[in-house]
Structure 1
Amino acid sequence: MKMVYQGEDRVYGNVPHASARSEDRKVAAAEAGIKQYRLAVVILGILCVIQAAVIIFLLHSLLSERRESKRTNFDVEAGFNNLTEERDDLKMKLNNLAQGRWEYFSGSFYHISSIEKPWQGSRDDCLEKGADLVIINSKEEEDFIRKFQKVMWIGLTDSETEGTWKWVDGTPLNESYWATNEPNGRETENCGNTFHYAMENSLNDSPCYISHSWVCERKVCPFLSIKTHQTEN
């Protein structure tokens, strides 16, 4: 009987006590809680970093917009001041031109001479006036020049290369209004004029040393000339 009890004591001696198992469960639960807490802290930290990044981005965008707005306002103000100065300058030029017997047409002012000179002397006079011999860019402008019913030098010559007619600004003669059988002077007639002003196409070539009246052109609003020409078409 005694040995049986000793065996039973040995058997029961290997079974953990109930209080020990309860303590282990508490420790495991505590460790799980600590892990969840740490995970929550990490997630909260990540959210704080994201929030801080968003705030910094929004502040940077706001400051950039303010700087851009200031630059835009400055540019608008500067542009307005420039337009005001250009308007005043244009008014002064228009008044001066009107008093100097200049006639306006489609973005340019034209001055018809009252005396006669050779082609180069005529051009020199235009340049002194801040203009140049007229460059005819359209049929409407050619009709406008013809209405003065005068033989006048215009800004057209082939003095540099025979047969290659150019305007005084260096552009080639693309659309011409030569009268019938003109130009016909070859090497002896290198400057253009409006000799055939009574005809639909008036342009003529003549020796540059002959004296004629001339027509100066001073462009005031090139964009207005283009707009007017497009409207007429």
Structure 2
Amino acid sequence: MDSEDRIEKAVDIYISAEAVRDMKHKDKKDFDATITEAPKHRDNSTGIKGTDGVKTRSSTAAVVCLLLVCVLLLTAVIVLCVHIHTKTTNYTQERQQLLINMTNLTEERDQLLIQNKNLTNERKLLIFQTDNLMNESNRWKSEKKELQVYFANGWKYFESSLYYFSSDTKNWNDSRISCKKKKADLIILNNKEEQNFVKNITGNSEFWIGLTYMEDGTWKWVDGSNMTTGLWESSQPNSPEKEKCALNHSPGCADFPCNDPFKWICEKSFF
């Protein structure tokens, strides 16, 4: 080929190469644009979504996650409520049990206070009784010494009274004076037991007793009390107008003239 032809061929080849290159470049842009814009349109034949489908799937996933979180939160709240209710119930039961225990303890305390008060009163009573016993013991010791003195001087003891039986004789008035000097008085026979006590000591002997006939026609003891029946001998008193004083005469009492000399019995209360 000549040089001119070669130049034209070279130009044509260059132009053809530029065209192919431009077409490829254009095709690539169109393809990229197609790929970029394809998700925006739905392919009815395949059912595949584009960007809307991706967004929908993302929204669905978020909703599902939110629902799961809500379910978890609700479950946690329910569990917490059940736990709190159980604890509250237990606390209520424990509180009621504590109240019952407190009531029982209060009752026991009150009972102990009552028992303590009773024991205190019993202790005071025992102390009082002990003091009395000590006083009685001390008094008895003192009285025992005193009795020993009386016994040494011829006195006899019977039912809380001391009795002195004289060995000499005097009339009724002088006999009473002798008893007064001993801080006593002529004996008063109150009952059969006392009369029997005197008889066991005097036997058949006669002793003046503290009984006289009064102008009003009654027999009275030296303390002013009236003579009771049952102490006289049978047929006694037989002449009270002349025999106005009484003797302890076996087996009972008898009236005698007050100026006759007889032994006498003095009596004094020991307690």
Shorter-chain TM-score tier? 0.5 to 0.7
| RMSD, aligned CA | 3.8
State the distance in 2 between where 1:132 and 1:64 align.
51
Rounded to whole Å, the distance in 1 between the matches of 2:239 and 2:87 is: 109
- Determine the structure 2 residue equivalent to 1:182: 236
Selected match of 1:111 from 165, 183, 207 = 165
| Alpha-carbon separation, structure 1, partners of 2:88 and 2:262 | 106
Q: Deviation at 1:154?
A: 0.3
Question: Which letter does structure 2 place at the counterpart of 1:86?
Answer: R
Q: Give structure 1 stretches of 5+ with no counterpart.
A: 1-17, 222-233
Q: CA deviation at 1:43?
A: 0.9
CA distance in 2, matches of 1:21, 1:173: 113
Tell which structure's C-alpha radius of gyration is larger. 2
Per-residue CA deviations over 1:27-81 (Å, capped at 9, x if unaligned) read: 8746753652453144134224213313422441453254235324422431232
| Residue in 2 that maps onto 1:77 | 130
* Amino acid corresponding to residue 109 of structure 2 in structure 1: I
- Between Structure 1 and Structure 2, how many residues are aligned? 199
Structure 1 residue 87, shift from structure 2 partner: 2.2
Tell me the amino acid that sits aligned with residue 64 of structure 1.
K
Q: In structure 2, how many angstroms separate the alpha carbons of the residues matched to 1:31 and 1:200?
A: 106
- Identity, in percent, stands at 22
Q: Does 1:56 align with 2:109?
A: yes
Whole-angstrom CA distance in 2 between matches of 1:188 and 1:171: 22
Q: Which whole-Å CA distance do the structure 2 matches of 1:210 and 1:94 have between them?
A: 32
Using CA pairs below 8 Å that are at least 6 residues apart, which structure has the higher relative contact order?
Answer: 1
Aligned to 1:214: 264
Q: Secondary structure at the match of 2:267?
A: strand
CA distance in 2, matches of 1:39, 1:217: 85
Question: Which structure 2 residues correspond to residues 118-157 of structure 1 after superposition, within 5 A?
Answer: 118-119=172-173, 121-136=174-189, 137-138=191-192, 139-144=195-200, 146-147=202-203, 149-150=205-206, 152-157=207-212
Deviation at 1:88, TM superposition (A): 1.9
CA distance in 1 between partners of 2:95 and 2:216 (Å): 86
Alpha-carbon separation, structure 2, partners of 1:179 and 1:86 = 41
Structure 2: give runs of 5+ residues left out of the alignment: 1-69
TM-score normalised to structure 2 length? 0.56
Kindly indicate whether the alpha-carbon contact (under 8 Å) linking 1:104 and 1:110 is maintained by their aligned counterparts in 2.
no
Does the alignment pair 1:200 with 2:200? no
